Structure 1
């Protein structure tokens, strides 16, 4: 989806450089104005033959021709998430193209750090109708995302801030939560993961109502995007003002949170048995 947006922007720029308006270019391409607009705004799958026609009309050749056709081919490749029944407008489609993720969660562990049992328990708690197959596909896709944390090529660098109460909430039961804490501790030792815990003792903080993510597409020269999950759905924000506000909020959370060393020590302590004792099982 992100590469399609990049391609659309490049095609719009080439049209403008050719001195053509939408209304002037569309008939030359045998497109309607609305179709050309949808292409440039990445609202449709962009057929490679359309791209060739546009490059001809805009008098583009040489290396630029080759680069844009390669980009069109990449943009049309099916994403791995589609095998799990997820669409191209899903959050995962954007995260897959990102180089960095900043995430704050209030009441649960970030998806990029979850175990299968923890993710399954979370999903079952949400009153959303799913078949067993759909549930297991979503769990599998969530776990698949973690491959990029250890990938040699195109790794995802993550900074997470977890509100401390999420570490004490027995999602799926005490045993599932303890396993989850151990998994966080393991992932926090990776070079790609920076773990921060926001202590309960901080009291009121900058993001009380909800968690959020910020995705950075540095390698694609695309602007950052903020993403908010809430009880009734999700919202993506790409306006500069909204993303700047999200970035400043995240920086404030980081300033209030424990550093990675202290955060890891807390998680290890809970994973080592303190969580079970607090849950009344020991």
Structure 2
């Protein structure tokens, strides 16, 4: 993994106790949610229990689908932490000595590369005398950045790319993808996943556990289909169907999986981009990409661009707008949803006949 490029909006995938503590005062307008206040009486252990309870109660009130993306919050927290350090004219080493943490840990936090420890963040805010709205903003970001989703129990066994996708999908309101080299990961059939794993083995050692990866992908599909799940639209390049070297029966099963998902759920749309389609208005895309938008207006839209060895994450408005415009052009050139389903059915039937003739 490479550090994020700071405020450019790009990233790549791959204590001491000062005597201050936090106690909660109830918010009567929203039962079970606690607001943070300063005090000198609550020990660190009690503070930890309070934070955990506050997070749990917040989820109960907001609802499961409203959980913000921990990945996005880590990036937003990183910006705020760098801002605080710069305002106090501190180097990374200077801040590390002041709060009794390692410089490498400060760097990872400021690059959004690690889940924050809430005790460490509180210690930093107290040591640097951060109060008022700035304190509340940073603490809220840290609390949400520290949240864990179902994907975290897999560790890295599901693969780092899929782990990021699961995080963004869970919190997204809309997902749009252009799939130039693979089938939409969130709509893959078990047979197709097995065939992909075998293809991946041909390229060398894999960095995930196949069974755990497949199980996590099935979990992503269940999440997509939950009642409060996001809307999902994919533009699938026809070349994927013909060029990906999986067995014909596995591809036929996958195509029927797509048509079944689209027919059963109105929030899911798949459009086929024919290999001879003319794409007006600009250059052609150089790789697959995915666009995520979120219900919270403070959350930026996110574009994840596929690479051979790592993915590029973009949040800058101009870059996101460029990919959104490209997606709109691809969508315009693709078949309608109805024609796309008919196309997939025809190809699936032909592949099934081909598989039968080969046996």
Shorter-chain TM-score bucket reads: 0.7 to 0.9
Q: Are residues 136 and 125 of structure 1, via their aligned partners in 2, closer, same or farther at CA, if it must alter by over 3 Å?
A: same
Any residues of structure 2 matched to 1:132-281 within 5 Å, and which? Answer: 134-153=209-228, 155-168=229-242, 172-189=246-263, 190-202=265-277, 206-207=283-284, 209-219=286-296, 221-230=298-307, 232-238=308-314, 240=316, 241-271=318-348, 273-277=349-353, 281=357
- In the alignment, is the contact (CA less than 8 A) between 2:73 and 2:141 conserved in 1? yes
Q: Are residues 68 and 242 of structure 1, via their aligned partners in 2, closer, same or farther at CA, if it must alter by over 3 Å?
A: closer
Q: What secondary structure is seen at the aligned counterpart in 2 of 1:202?
A: coil
* CA RMSD in angstroms, aligned pairs only: 3.5
Q: Are residues 87 and 44 of structure 1, via their aligned partners in 2, closer, same or farther at CA, if it must alter by over 3 Å?
A: farther
- Output one character per residue of 1:115-169: Cα deviation in whole Å (capped at 9) or x when no partner: 11101211211213249x811222222222112221134x232221111233345
Q: Are residues 36 and 75 of structure 1, via their aligned partners in 2, closer, same or farther at CA, if it must alter by over 3 Å?
A: same
Which runs of 5 or more structure 1 residues have no equivalent in the other structure?
none
1:59 to 114, 119, 130: 130
After TM superposition, the score normalised by the length of structure 1 is 0.79
Which runs of 5 or more structure 2 residues have no equivalent in the other structure?
1-70
2:168 corresponding residue in structure 1:
97
Task: Count how many residue pairs are aligned between Structure 1 and Structure 2.
Answer: 275
For 1:179 and 1:166, the matched residues in 2 are separated by 14
2:113 corresponding residue in structure 1:
43
For 1:147 and 1:179, the matched residues in 2 are separated by 18
- In the alignment, is the contact (CA less than 8 A) between 2:272 and 2:340 conserved in 1? yes
- More moved, 73-82 vs 180-189: 73-82
When Rg is computed on C-alpha atoms for both structures, the one with the higher figure is 2
For 1:174 and 1:116, the matched residues in 2 are separated by 14
- Output one character per residue of 1:214-238: Cα deviation in whole Å (capped at 9) or x when no partner: 23345373333333334x4122132
2:153 corresponding residue in structure 1:
83
Query: Residue 274 of structure 1: CA displacement?
Result: 3.5
Query: Residue 246 of structure 1: CA displacement?
Result: 2.4
2:89 to 4, 21, 26: 21
Q: Are residues 207 and 79 of structure 1, via their aligned partners in 2, closer, same or farther at CA, if it must alter by over 3 Å?
A: farther
